[in-house]
Copies of this chain bind each other. A is one copy, B any other.
Amino acid sequence: MIVALLTDFGDSHYVGQMKGVILSNNDAASIVDITHSVPFHSVVSGAWRLLQSYKEFPAGTIFLAVVDPGVGTGRKALAVKSRNYFFVGPDNGLLFSAAKEDGIIESVSLDCEKIDKETGKRRISNTFHGRDIFARAAAIISRTGNILRVGKKNVGMIKLDVLPKKKSGLIVDIDSFGNVTTNILPPGKRKKIKFLIKQREIELKFVKTFADLERNELGALTGSAGTLEIVANQAPASQILKANIGMKLALR
């Protein structure tokens, strides 16, 4: 069974440790890296990238997603069974949109006693639940297909909604070129698009591609996720806009 990883750990041995834990608990697991360069502690970006990626994978894939600024505090840890997939990670909204889009069937709060029973006991550090809890839970699910082996039925889940919207949405990602991804769907055919962002209205050319813009000019286009992106030709749109991941914006 495929276990697909998405974290904000960068290329680090923390990822390597998680892979070792998975393979030690299910040597038939097939591990796939989605990305480890989610901006540090950006749950919104992690949720968006997971939402964009999960549906490309075969049914049955277990997604192990760790962007976990609340590690060591009281935040819950989750495993979610959706119509076609499994999701494992912290209860901070990271898993919500992908699981909801696919159709949530059941979720559990991870329970270290249950996990210990399956894998043998392990000391839980304060700072690295990815290795100590989540990787073991993902391995058990990849072996059994059963989230009840790793937790107790859950009463709720933090709902961070990054699903595509028609009017009001969020800046859900900023790439290394400063291109700003929103979760707002493109309106019908038109030449200009007006956004409200930080109580300011901005009107942008709605173009097909970067080359339709003057140098440094801001514009909007439909990105590979099918939502609006705000870009600039040969310049970082995020800096021009002073935009951050998580900011609200709306079509006017």
**Contact status of A12 and B32, CB under 8 A, knowing A56-B21, A131-B56, A224-B128:** no
**Contact status B2-A52, CB under 8 Å:** no
Within 8 A of B (CB), among A5-35: 6, 10-21, 23-24, 27, 31-35
The verdict on A82 contacting chain B, using a C-beta distance below 8 Å, is: no
Size bracket of the A interface: 35 or more
Q: A12-B175, A24-B58 are in contact. List 17 more A-B contacts (CB 8 A).
A: A10-B176, A11-B33, A13-B35, A13-B52, A15-B35, A17-B53, A19-B33, A20-B54, A20-B55, A20-B58, A21-B56, A23-B57, A23-B58, A24-B56, A72-B208, A126-B224, A128-B224
**Contact status of A4 and B24, CB under 8 A, knowing A11-B11, A37-B10:** no
A34 interface neighbour in B6, B16, B21, Cβ under 8 Å: B16
**Contact status B32-A32, CB under 8 Å:** no
The verdict on A81 contacting chain B, using a C-beta distance below 8 Å, is: no
What string of 1s and 0s marks CB contacts (under 8 Å) between A50-77 and chain B?
Answer: 1011111110010000000000100000
Chain B nearest CB from A156 CB (Å) reads 26
Q: Give the chain B neighbours of A10 by CB distance below 8 A.
A: 11, 37, 176
Q: Give the chain B neighbours of A126 by CB distance below 8 A.
A: 208-209, 222, 224
**Contact status A224-B23, CB under 8 Å:** no
**Contact status of A53 and B16, CB under 8 A, knowing A35-B11, A37-B11:** yes
**Contact status B37-A12, CB under 8 Å:** yes
Subset of 26 A-B contacts with CB under 8 Å: A4-B20, A11-B33, A12-B35, A12-B37, A13-B34, A13-B35, A13-B50, A13-B52, A14-B224, A15-B33, A15-B35, A16-B49, A16-B53, A17-B34, A17-B56, A19-B33, A20-B53, A20-B54, A20-B57, A23-B57, A33-B33, A56-B131, A72-B208, A72-B209, A126-B224, A127-B209
**Contact status A13-B72, CB under 8 Å:** no
Q: Give the chain B neighbours of A49 by CB distance below 8 A.
A: 13, 16
A36 interface neighbour in B11, B19, B21, B209, Cβ under 8 Å: B11
Within 8 A of B (CB), among A196-231: 208-209, 222-224, 226
Q: Give the chain B neighbours of A17 by CB distance below 8 A.
A: 34, 52-53, 56
The verdict on A146 contacting chain B, using a C-beta distance below 8 Å, is: no
**Contact status B16-A6, CB under 8 Å:** yes
Chain B nearest CB from A73 CB (Å) reads 9
Docked CA distance A37–B13 (Å): 8
